Structure 1
Amino acid sequence: MPLDAPSYHAIAAMVITVAMFIGFVRGRLSVEIVSLLTIAVIGVGLYFFPLEGTQPTDGLVLAFAGFGHPALITICALMILGRGLVVTGALEPAARALEMVWKWNLQAGMLFSLVLAMGLSMVVNDTPVLVLLMPIFVALAQRGAMPASKTLIPLNAAVLIGGMATTIGTSTNLLVVAIAVDLGLPQMSVFHYTHIVLIAALVALPYMWLVMPRLLPDNTPEQTGAMRRFYSYLRVNPQSELDGLRLDEVASKLPDDFRFEGKPADALDAGSRHLVSGTHEGLEGAIRVLRGQVAPAWVIDQISDRSKARGEDIQAVEMVVTADSRIIGRTLATSGIADLYGVAVLGVHKPKRLLADDETVFRNDIRIAEGDVLLVMGIAEELENFASGDSLLQLEGGQEMPRRSKALLAGAIMAGSVALASVGLPFIGSEGFYLLKVPIAISALAGAIIMFVTGCVKFDRVGRALSGKVIVLVAASIAIGRIVLESGAAAWLGEGLSLGLQYLPAAGVLAAIMLFVTVLTNFASNATAATVGTPIAFAIAVELGLPPEPLVLAVLFGCNLCYATPIAYQTNMLIMAEGNYRFGDYVRTGVPLVLLMVATLSTLLAIAYGM
């Protein structure tokens, strides 16, 4: 039977989808502009040419529905949860543990991380797994591991492959299985097809591990201020891990960007003081690990107390000493900075011209000179008073110190949100004890609200957690998904597919179905692909006399092969801002992985089911 021509609305939907894809890939217009133009074209087009049986205003509702869609709310809430983990330092222990593997060998660290991501996402929903891992890898990049832009896309792919391996890995898997049961197939167990996915994962792992990072750019922003080395004196406390040890015994614990300027011959006894240098992050890491001090304990305690009393964050900023400053020629001990302003100077960066004679500069203490850059910690008001009172110029790029007192709380909030979405909320009812599954949108939103209420994330800092590019991209992808489905474009493509499959071998039929669903899921949504693809696959199986289960599994696998565009799945969008990715980065790395997985999975399905 010949294929009927598509409706005008279906043709328009396919044209808009292709045009949006071309706009993203060419990159001449920003993602935000292409996304907003797509929404505008859909809204205006459906207003003047509404879908059959709808009103003109219904088209506007369809076009702008993405801005209030649960998927967008979920992504924004997850960004806020991730921000809470970062600003409280809750993930630092996990980052340090992974850092040990990465420091031993970068390639071993990458492989271990990919396998870990796959394993976790087999039993926990994809999105919470990525939300937990993403800030850790951003922190690892800041500590000297691979740039985040080279690790996040492979990590996301590993999470998606792991989520495909069980029926509970993603909500899309559950949807496909539920539709298949309604069509007459038996219920699939949790690990019904896990062996097939694991074999395919072994085939894909070398590509994700060795090739993907090479195809991705280094999008690390230049931070010239962060590369300054600050000199300070490290005081050894009785509680410090340094007490009684030699330098060579603690060298392995020190960050790469921190060092002792002298070579102490004797043990680092309590009460001793040693000249050290490091970047801001290096000094902070060494102080935390070694429990030493680079500023008087009493001023640090005062700053912490004022921060808690006022509900303000502690900041670390860089200030340049100008020619009019009263502290020129003074040492940190004689400057009176802590007494006068209640701020702590953590270190002093010396221009190269002043480092020509280390003996003169550091004979007794660090003597401040014009042009020095001070790393100063304190509350915003006190920092401003210090800068204006002593004629210093505050540089851009100051950063907030982690609120470590709330680290455990932030971690507990994130763990609770993940548990609600993946395990469920325990209930005792008339039928006994059971677990009530909570949608990820609800658990993430509840977690974000608790982050605000408890002060883990400040209301005035929300803008730093959210990405406008991701928000409009999500809204545009939802609008595209709806118009593709409601215009009949998806159904027409499915009918056309079924007409040509009768001439293909079984593995070719499976590959064609998987590719068709993959295209849908990368440009519409997983739910759309599952809803459209599962009945089509069942009908094709009946028409061609093939067992329906492998064709349904081809749909399930295709729904999860969403690596090629950022709009395919919410985890793709979550990493977009952190990795500073362009649309083309997903296409360049994702298309080869899609083709590799389609070829492997279709072959394995044909073998497993004797086709």
Structure 2
Amino acid sequence: MVPTAPPVGLLGADLPLGVLVVAAVVLGTVVLFVTEAIPPDVTALAVIVVLVALEPYTGVSAAEGLSGFSSPATVTVMAMYVLSDGIRRTSVIRRLGVEVAQSARGSENRLLAAVIGLTGPIAGVVNNTPVVAVFVPMVTDLANEAGVSPSKLLIPLSYASMLAGTLTLFGTATNLVASELSADLLGRPFGVFELTPVGVVVFLVGAAYLLTVGKWLLPARVPPGSRTERYEVQPYLARVLVTARSPLAGAFAQAVVEDARRDLGLDVLDVVRGGEHFVAADSDRELRARDVLTVRGDPATIQRFVELASLRRLPRATVTDAELDNPERSTLVELVVPSESALAGETVESARLRERYDATVLAVRRAGGELVRNGVGATKLRGGDALLLRTTEQAAEFLAENDDFVVTNEAFDEVMERARAGGVSRTAAVAFAVLFGVVGLAALDVLPIAVAALAGVVAMVVSGVLSPNEAYDAVNWNVVFLLAGVVPLGIALRETGAVALVADSLVAATAGLPPVAVLALFYLLTGAFANVITPVASVVLFLPVAVSTAAEAGSDPFSFALAVTFAASTAFTTPVGYQTNLMVYGPGGYRFSDYVRVGAPLQLLLAVVTSAAIALYWGL
């Protein structure tokens, strides 16, 4: 039995001590989610520990505290990550995107329509994070080719993937958690396509907004052009000539690179000798008079290097993308630091990108739009930061496989050529057959959704689409631990009676309001919290309260559960509300206010549209 305390009063009600304890845990969890003083997944694990340690007050036993790890929602999410990765590795999504985008080249309106129209159907079934990761480089390259700022297309890409999450039960992890809560509270989980009728309305209204109002509200933060132009690094790049009297003539290239970096903080990138190029850091050759060095650094530092080493600056020798991005020597890579990256909080220097990947970071576009080109090594990395770096082709492949980064650049013409080479492979056919098989088994209730998804994982590995190691690597374990940690928080809220107390208060506060207005209120509250404490956590907090409030008010609890579920997908107003928002934050050069300006009207519009659609379709 949960110990009680003297009355504390909530609209005249007495508060048990257990409610106060759980309320304190919820408040602490929200603060940690918002401030990210520790990673969200670690916060979720801490919630388990605290709830079980305070079992006499929270009512959460050890078995219940750990139940999130065996939750069907958690298992399904793990499996869907694997299935999505199997689809991603077939390159079919990339090929489809190339073909559609090719027809839209040269027109901002057609590009915007293609981005939204293509992202939606795919992200409705496949996890939207890899879909956005695949499309970001293609959309950026097409925008630059059409002379359109990538900022005009990247937020719509993220928003479209989020809207598509409302189309099916598989659309997001949030849907799966909400379905399990609905099953526990109402004995009615969501069907695979139960969200689809209203989801289609939500997607179409959101798409119409992005193609009209949203288009005019979006800023052009990043100018179209080459990567060196978009990151404005050309003033920090120069070509210098080794003169006959320079002390560098006769010195080893590697030694020059090390001395310049140590003494001046200057990077010597490569050496041009006649028609020959070679990377200075990898060469044991001696420099000669008439060699031309490509250097990167602050303009004043470059001038000091020129004077100290008796060099001659070549003012007309502009350093372009083509000279830095040459498959025979090196390549330019753009990447984004995800919020869950182990490198978040590290500086560029302490991350040891140079040592690990033979990479020189040319510039950092901070999450928020600030460009850093001087003192790059001391820049502390944050989730959403975008980096432009120069490395080797082999190192770029390692970067693409590293979960600490999302590589977001690839030459469009090369992608198109690879995507068009050959037809659909056997592997692709098997991968899609497995995915559709999982959807079919779950939709027809042949197998529970979690078991059907696990069967799909087994089929992916047995058929050779993925190796066991690739399957394990495909899972976003941060999300899995977050899910497992917030599930017992919902149990504590119900066991202590906190849900019932809040529901009583809301029923009293909203007395006299029509049910559809109360439904819209829950939509707005859930959406607001989803922007700061993650969609999954907002569903765990608000869905039980919504269901209890509806039951006491004589409304349909299932409709209220659906409203909370849809609302959790509308974390449009902040870059941290949803992973895909953060993925486009740096590459788009966005500011926090851009998400508010474009996302807030959309969130309010969908509050009205979704509430009305639920009331009409399911009733209240």
**Residues 525 and 443 of structure 1: CA distance in aligned 2, closer, same or farther (over 3 Å):** farther
Q: What corresponds to 2:492 in structure 1?
A: 483
Aligned 1:269-288 pairs, distance under 5 A: none
- Name the counterpart of 2:163: 158
| Equivalent residue letter for 2:80 | L
1:217–1:527 distance in 2 versus 1, CA, 3 Å: farther
Which residue in 1 is equivalent to 2:328?
A: 374
CA spacing shift, 1:468–1:152, aligned 2, 3 Å? farther
Answering whether residue 101 of structure 2 is matched by residue 92 of structure 1, we say no
Aligned to 2:435: 418
Which residues in structure 2 correspond to 1:234-249 (within 5 Å)? none
Of 396, 399, 408, 2:397 maps to: 399
The alignment partner of 2:559 has SS state of: helix
**Aligned counterpart, 1:561:** 567
Deviations 1:180-236 (A, max 9, x none): 9989xxx99x89994x77666555445445549948998xxx998xx9xxxxxxxxx
Change (3 A) 1:117 1:485: farther
Separation in 2 of the partners of 1:487 and 1:217? 49
Secondary structure of 1:399 counterpart:
helix
How far is the alpha carbon of 1:500 from its aligned partner? 1.9
Contact 1:319 1:375 in 2 (8 A): no
The answer to whether the aligner puts 1:36 opposite 2:36 as a matched pair is no
CA contact under 8 A between 2:163 and 2:206: conserved in structure 1?
A: no
Query: How far does residue 562 in structure 1 lie from its aligned partner after superposition?
Result: 0.7
CA 1:492/1:475 → structure 2, altered by over 3 Å: closer, same or farther?
A: same
Check the 8 A contact 1:85/1:410 in 2, yes or no.
Answer: no
Name stretches of at least 5 consecutive residues in structure 1 with no aligned partner. 228-317, 326-351, 357-368, 378-386, 388-392, 426-433, 542-547, 567-571
**What TM-score does the superposition give when structure 1 sets the normalisation length?**
0.53
**1:457 aligned to 2:466?**
yes
Alpha-carbon shift at residue 94 of structure 1 (Å)? 0.6
- C-alpha distance in 2 between matches for 1:198 and 1:23: 35
Query: How far apart are residue 159 of structure 1 and its match?
Result: 1.0
Q: Is the 8 A contact 1:511 1:602 kept in 2?
A: yes
Structure 2: 5+ residue stretches without partners: 1-9, 144-149, 232-278, 287-312, 318-322, 332-357, 359-390, 401-417
Matches within 5 A, 1:277-426: 322-324=283-285, 374=328, 397-399=395-397, 408-424=425-441
Matches within 5 A, 1:30-179: 30=38, 32=39, 34-51=40-57, 58=62, 61-115=63-117, 126-128=124-126, 130=128, 133-134=131-132, 136-138=134-136, 140-141=138-139, 143-145=141-143, 146=150, 150-163=155-168
Which residue is 1:9 aligned to? 18
Matches of 1:162 and 1:464 in 2, distance apart? 27
Q: For residues 421-470 of structure 1, what are the alpha-carbon distances to aligned partners after superposition, in whole Å with 9 as ceiling and x for unaligned?
A: 43227xxxxxxxx9444444334433334444444434455676344543
Q: Is the 8 A contact 2:41 2:482 kept in 1?
A: yes
Relative distance call for 1:319 and 1:43 in structure 2 (3 A) is same
- Aligned residues: CA RMSD: 6.0
Distance 1:531 1:175, change over 3 A: farther
The share of aligned pairs that are identical, in percent, is 16
State the SS of the aligned residue for 2:607.
Answer: helix
Computing the radius of gyration from Cα coordinates, the structure with the larger value is 1
- Give the one of 550, 563, 575 matched to 1:537: 550
Q: Distance in 2 between matches of 1:598 and 1:116?
A: 24
What is the CA distance between 1:154 and its match in structure 2?
0.3
Structure 2: how far apart are the matches of 1:68 and 1:592?
39
- Secondary structure of 2:328's counterpart equals strand
Secondary structure of 2:56's aligned partner: coil
Q: Is the 8 A contact 2:82 2:457 kept in 1?
A: yes
Question: d(CA) in 2 for partners of 1:562 and 1:421?
Answer: 25
Q: Work out the CA distance in 1 between the residues paired with 2:444 and 2:199.
A: 28
CA spacing shift, 1:534–1:13, aligned 2, 3 Å = same
**Distance of 2:183 and 2:484 partners within structure 1:** 27
Distance 1:409 1:532, change over 3 A: farther
What is the one-letter code of the residue matched to 1:560? F
Structure 2 counterparts to residues 429-440 of structure 1, below 5 A:
435-440=444-449
**145-154 vs 99-108, which moves further:** 145-154
CA distance in 1, matches of 2:550, 2:101: 46
- Give the 3-state SS of the residue equivalent to 1:95 in structure 2: helix
Is contact 2:17–2:57 with CA below 8 Å preserved after alignment?
Answer: no
Whole-angstrom distance in 2 between the partners of 1:69 and 1:193: 24
CA deviations 1:236-286 (Å, max 9, x no partner) are xxxxxxxxxxxxxxxxxxxxxxxxxxxxxxxxxxxxxxxxxxxxxxxxxxx
Tell me the amino acid that sits aligned with residue 533 of structure 1: A
Q: Number of aligned pairs?
A: 438
